[in-house]
Copies of this chain bind each other. A is one copy, B any other.
Amino acid sequence: MKAVILAAGRGTRLFGEGGTAPKVLAKVAGSELLYRHLKLLRDRGVEEFIVVVNPWTEGEIRKALQRWGFPSKVVVNPHPERGNGYSLLQAREHVDGPFILVMGDHVYEEAFLDEALKGKGIIVDSAGSFIDPHEATKVVVEDGYVRDIGKEVEGEFYDTGFFVLDLNIFEHAQRVLEEKGTVEMAEVVKRAVLPYTEVRGYLWMDVDTPKDLERATKAIVRRSRKSAGGDGIISRLLNRRISLILTERLVNRLSPNQATILSTLVGLMAALGALFSVALGGILYQLSSVLDGTDGEIARASLKESALGGWMDSVLDRLVDFCFLLALGLSLGAEVPWEVLSGAIFGSLMVSYTSERYRGATGRDLYGDFPVLLYLGGKRDERIFLIMVLSVLGAVRECLWVLAFWTNARWALAFLWVLRAQRKRGHRPKPMPRP
């Protein structure tokens, strides 16, 4: 399937009257509006994109498309003033069957697209939770088809700017053009008596003003929050709440890798700080733990998740943990309980090692297979919080003892559970459905 993306808008409200920057290259939650459409639709099987642009922004959009590498054609609308339907008409000869039409200045969350792609005609929504009802285009329907559409009409639905169309639509657009000299999509939709599909309860909105950009960014960051399974209790109750606020502010400024580096640097500073003041070190350590959430949040919100990025984040987390424990040891001066310290270093790493090795071996999540482990704690967010509290209290020795015991008990219990599961399962072949 192909998708036509209308990107000929001038973005004057976004960049000011004199601006020539293409609106679809405005960044929402760390990624350009156009990139979001391409990435999300490509992930859902769209094979080729036709991007309709205006003559002034053509060069810039071409450059961006080349950088991203999606299979796309650029089509220039020489008369953007003739309306967005006129832009659609420019795509006519590049489409040869049912296709998707997207308003380039809209933003959609993934779940919206999953549903919308199953629909037909104009995709509408009765909630419109993220838009301004006065500005929005309303849709009046009757017997499954559009009866009227426009900003002024009183409809129960909102136009989401997303369409699943067939080639007929070009005939209708052509008629409108011949009659009026300009073509607005609303007019075309009304003439075509399009069917409609409601997709309800998801994030979608059009982005016209800097304020919209900000609102869209916030909404996307909030909605691309990691599923809670991977987080420990401190993360859920404390770290995530702060890191999401930070991410809202950082997502357009930092790449995921830069956020990883930032949290690593703060973590290493914490270790260094602990050499001078254990309490200060502990607080910085907890701060780095909060920051540690932002790289993943930025990656998810900006659609830039990468397996290697996750790997690097984990490896650096281990390094920071080691450095901080080493610093705690050094802070004790002459009499270091180094056996306990070694145990704490080993145990902390083993909590991560056992679950990563499990994923590598089985492709599954250790905590998913043995949810009881979640109740035992010992995850990084929980360990760091404990270290901070005990550091502030000046109880470094006790902290090392608790860590050495807790983390090693934690992975040893995981071991026993896996052993029991393997015993139960044995080497029996998996049951196969019999016909």
Contact = CB atoms under 8 A, between A and B. Distances in A.
A308 B429 CA distance: 14
Q: Residue among A311, A322, A418, A429 with the most chain B CB within 10 A?
A: A311
A422 B69 contact: no
Contacts of A68: 428-429
Contacts of A228: none
A357 B415 contact: no
A330 B342 CA distance: 12
A405 interface: no
Given A39-B429, A338-B341, A341-B338, A415 B315 contact: yes
Nearest to A337: B338
A309 B71 contact: no
Contacts of A314: 357, 361
A421 interface: yes
B346 A308 contact: no
A326 interface: yes
B350 A318 contact: yes
Given A69-B429, A70-B429, A422 B309 contact: yes
B422 A353 contact: no
Interface string A409-435: 001000100110110010111011010
Nearest to A352: B353
A342 to B, nearest CB: 6
Contacts of A427: 304, 306
A412 to B, nearest CB: 9
Given A338-B338, A345-B345, A362-B307, A428 B356 contact: no
Contact of A329 (B304, B338, B419, B431): B338
A431 B318 CA distance: 34
B353 A308 contact: no
Interface string A315-353: 100100010011001100000101101100110011011
Q: Residue among A361, A418, A431, A432 with the most chain B CB within 10 A?
A: A361
A15 interface: no
27 contacts: A42-B429, A69-B429, A69-B431, A70-B429, A304-B427, A307-B361, A307-B362, A308-B362, A308-B419, A308-B422, A309-B422, A310-B361, A311-B357, A312-B422, A314-B361, A315-B353, A315-B357, A315-B415, A322-B346, A329-B339, A345-B346, A346-B349, A349-B353, A353-B356, A359-B359, A359-B360, A363-B363
Interface of A: 39, 42, 47, 68-71, 257, 304, 306-312, 314-315, 318, 322, 325-326, 329-330, 336, 338-339, 341-342, 345-346, 349-350, 352-354, 356-363, 411, 415, 418-419, 421-422, 425, 427-429, 431-432, 434
Given A70-B429, A257-B422, 14 more contacts: A39-B429, A68-B428, A307-B361, A308-B361, A311-B357, A315-B353, A318-B350, A322-B346, A326-B339, A342-B345, A349-B353, A353-B353, A357-B360, A359-B360
